[in-house]
Structure 1
Amino acid sequence: MTRSLRRALGAGAATAIAAAAMLLPLAPASAATPCAPAWNATQVYTGGATASYQGRNYSAKWWTQGDVPTAGGQWGVWTDRGACDDGTGPSTPPSSPSTPPTSPSTPPTGPSGDKWVVGYFAEWGVYGRNYHVKNIDTSGSASKITHILYAFGNSANGRCSIGDSYADYEKAYPADQSVDGVADTWDQPLRGSFNQLRKLKKKYPHLKVIYSIGGWTWSGGFTQAAQNPAAFADSCYNMIEDPRWADVFDGIDIDWEYPNACGLQCDTSGPDAFDRVVSALRAKFGQSYLITAAITADGSDGGKIDATDYATAAQKLTKIFPMTYDYFGAWADKGPTAPHSPLTSYPGIPTAGFHSDAAIAKLKSKGVPADKILLGIGFYGRGWTGVTQAEPGGAATGAAPGTYEAGIEDYKVLKNSCPATGTVAGTAYAKCGGNWWSYDTPATIAGKMSYAKQQGLGGAFFWEFSGDTANGELITAIRNNL
């Protein structure tokens, strides 16, 4: 998805809040607010349910289980309702809270009803990044998303094929890395991330998993796919509906970078090629299957959106994911520095139309329904080095150092190593020494989600899970504000 080769609040906060609560003077018994039933880590709470913790009452914003009331801050699931009296209040808690706690057998279907919150899981993340399907659960993110995009399958020679068989279905997971705490055995029919996804779906039945095909590196085969769309669709069906893992996947995603335009390679299949491929997939998989597409977010005049008939294809697609990030980066090694994911234009933007609002407006003007469009968020920053100017537009000497690749770094690293010092066009930037970075934060994500709601969009998606913090603060910001 990205242009790369494959593209806490902790106990200290809780202690501080608890200490502050202990310093509060006791109110007279007649005026004290009784404490709600004590918070229980194993209990399920729904929106409006109340619980007390360390001398304060809290109310849940939505379904939650195991989220400590003091650990979420403004982006968390709990709202602090103030101090309560544990000793002078009634010996039993109020019997009728405004919204009684209930214990549904399954988590909710997602934020804000029909809004999608979609995250990419990169198959290669199980190696150097040591990020596994279980991390989606332990971070608290599984209950806050609606869909997972599994990236990537290959499109080589115009056919769908497995991207990495070892990571996908061969790797044996020990108990401590397994979603349900049960180790894989040598003779079980399915292992790897596919089996872990199956376990995650069992634990969170609202989740849907979509197999994404292509991406920046593996888009070359779509040119051949457009020449024989029916054969391509057959191969994708046979791969995704393989009896070993047919229950894992609920849809297919086409990440063609880019039809009738240039990405890693150039395609000249014509403006209707994308629709031919999508139409064949819909015919093969049927109307109930989720079929999505990650597409260009080039909103410039005569740019990549204009090169392809996305509107006709959108009639057959469930959702569309314009990749509203990676507009600018250190592939332009001398700069100018610019935010890689601007929401709007701004004075000095290096390329007109290279921002989210331009892409969304262009797609809508061509007839793509707003509720089929999701806004893209990058869980990483892009940066330059050799920079002397704090504001955007400065000169540089090259790409800033990164953990895995120069010019790119995870949010979970940047939030501490180079905290944001300013905002521009709805996103954040930071200058640390000679390095300059741009990335999204919980605050800028809140603004972008407000934009998504104003535009009537169908939700938001992000690249990718492992860039977030261990407690999923960026995913929480998406969910809280969508």
Structure 2
Amino acid sequence: MAARWGFVALLVVLAGCSPASAPALQPPRPLLVGYYTPRGGAAPFHVAQLERSGAADRLTHLVYAFGAVTGGRCTGGAADPDEFAQLRALKQRRPALKVLWSFGGWNGSAGFAAAAADPPAFAASCRALLDDPRWAGLFDGIDVDWEYPNACGATCDTSGPDALPRLTAALRAAFGSDRLVTAAVSADASPGGRLARADYPAAAAHLDWLMTMTYDYAGVGDPAGPTAPHSPLPGAQAAIAELTGRGVPVSKVLLGVGFYGRGWTGVTRDSPGGQATGPAPGGRGPGVEDYRVLRTACPPTGTVAGTSYARCGATWWSYDTPATLTAKARYVRTQGLRGVFCWELAGDTADGELLGALHSALS
């Protein structure tokens, strides 16, 4: 009898902790990831500016870009040990901030073909480089920015659809479960496009997350127009649907946003769809300019497809603003995506307008 009453008492206690009365589990806070390229903009961008702008306090992860892939191995590229020392000091002041080293990029992806021929050797070289005693303790993981496996970017690759999964599997084996392994991936969801050319779901099994480069849909290779938003939300939605439809967990997908605009000149039409005579002059090159410049040089005159556009005389630009990024961040939350990443931090204002808007909307 005593045992029976003990069992009843246990049921009463458990009833007080029933799922109905327990607090609901909250999803993890979305990630806010920023690419840092010291020499990527019109002027050098220093580690100290990460603190002055508030980026160091708002970001969950900082991605240093880029290391090189040479001879099938990870190499330092133009990495500056003094700069790494400053990054390590920054991380010591803000221990919650995680730092990754990204390899590849648009101009540095040709070496991945050789890496895919011997993934274990590639991965071992990357682990050795990230753990170099000169900057030991700085990097929490590695980011692969291969543009694009088994498809064309600045160069074309024919390594096969399984090349990226083999590479990411080797990296995971080399770095283990306590280090981050991530990848920046295409956002081309067109039939037979880049997302269809590689086995991204198999690669995702070895990755902590994938960053979809959901920008540059217009303004690249179309100097005569038509003018169009380069970072439209519908394009992002299609890319994310393609990835998740193929089997990539939505909880491993980050939405990409650009801290820059793409523009044309010789335009006579205010709304999108106009013809042009060429790319607009830009501080980052023909047709490309930072948000920090555009916000005053050519303020928005309208919105389309979840992003802003502006016409100033004969010049037409498309770029995101704090308001459009707030809406994109809300989309990330409602869809259960893992977070947002930005390319890249030097394009923001000195006080971090864009990153601040993302941080507020994701919090």
TM over 0.5: yes
RCO higher in structure (CA 8 A, sep ≥6): 2
| From 404, 411, 418, the counterpart of 2:291 | 411
Q: How does 1:22-421 map to 2 (within 5 A)?
A: 113-125=28-40, 129-165=43-79, 168-169=80-81, 191=82, 193-344=83-234, 355-421=235-301
Q: Would the aligned equivalents of 2:87 and 2:138 in 1 still touch at CA under 8 Å?
A: yes
Q: How does 1:416-427 map to 2 (within 5 A)?
A: 416-427=296-307
Q: Would the aligned equivalents of 2:30 and 2:333 in 1 still touch at CA under 8 Å?
A: no
Which residue in 2 is equivalent to 1:22?
none
Tell me the number of residue pairs that the alignment of Structure 1 and Structure 2 aligns: 336
**What is the letter of the counterpart of residue 198 of structure 2?**
T
Partner SS, residue 85 of structure 2: helix
What's the offset of the Cα at 1:234? 1.1
Q: Deviations over 1:285-343 (max 9, x none)?
A: 11111000000000112111011100011011001001001111052111111111000
User: Kindly tell me: are residues 296 and 429 of structure 1, through their superposed partners in 2, closer, same or farther at Cα, counting changes over 3 Å?
Assistant: same
Paired with 1:276 and 1:417, the residues of 2 have a C-alpha distance of 46
Q: Deviations over 1:406-453 (max 9, x none)?
A: 100000000000000001100000000100000000000011011111
Paired with 2:42 and 2:183, the residues of 1 have a C-alpha distance of 28
Paired with 1:330 and 1:154, the residues of 2 have a C-alpha distance of 24
Which residue in 2 is equivalent to 1:465?
345
Which residue in 2 is equivalent to 1:444?
324
Question: Which segments of structure 1 move beyond 2 Å, counting only runs of 4 or more?
Answer: none
The answer to which of 308-317 and 156-165 deviates more is: 156-165
Q: Would the aligned equivalents of 2:72 and 2:115 in 1 still touch at CA under 8 Å?
A: yes
Partner SS, residue 195 of structure 2: coil
1:454 aligns with 2:344: no
User: Kindly tell me: are residues 311 and 373 of structure 1, through their superposed partners in 2, closer, same or farther at Cα, counting changes over 3 Å?
Assistant: same
User: Kindly tell me: are residues 275 and 330 of structure 1, through their superposed partners in 2, closer, same or farther at Cα, counting changes over 3 Å?
Assistant: closer
Q: Would the aligned equivalents of 2:38 and 2:45 in 1 still touch at CA under 8 Å?
A: no
Q: Would the aligned equivalents of 1:123 and 1:152 in 2 still touch at CA under 8 Å?
A: no
Paired with 2:59 and 2:42, the residues of 1 have a C-alpha distance of 25
Which residue in 1 is equivalent to 2:312?
432
**What is the letter of the counterpart of residue 115 of structure 1?**
P
Q: Output the TM-score relative to the length of structure 1.
A: 0.69
What's the offset of the Cα at 1:384? 0.4
Give the gaps of 5 or more residues in structure 2: 1-26
| Identity score, percent | 55
Paired with 2:279 and 2:243, the residues of 1 have a C-alpha distance of 32
Partner SS, residue 292 of structure 1: strand
Paired with 2:191 and 2:334, the residues of 1 have a C-alpha distance of 24
Paired with 1:123 and 1:425, the residues of 2 have a C-alpha distance of 31
Q: Would the aligned equivalents of 1:400 and 1:408 in 2 still touch at CA under 8 Å?
A: yes
Paired with 2:29 and 2:178, the residues of 1 have a C-alpha distance of 16
What's the offset of the Cα at 1:391? 0.7
Paired with 2:264 and 2:57, the residues of 1 have a C-alpha distance of 36
Q: Deviations over 1:234-270 (max 9, x none)?
A: 1111111101112110000000000000001110111
Which residue in 2 is equivalent to 1:54?
none
1:475 aligns with 2:355: yes
Partner SS, residue 405 of structure 1: coil
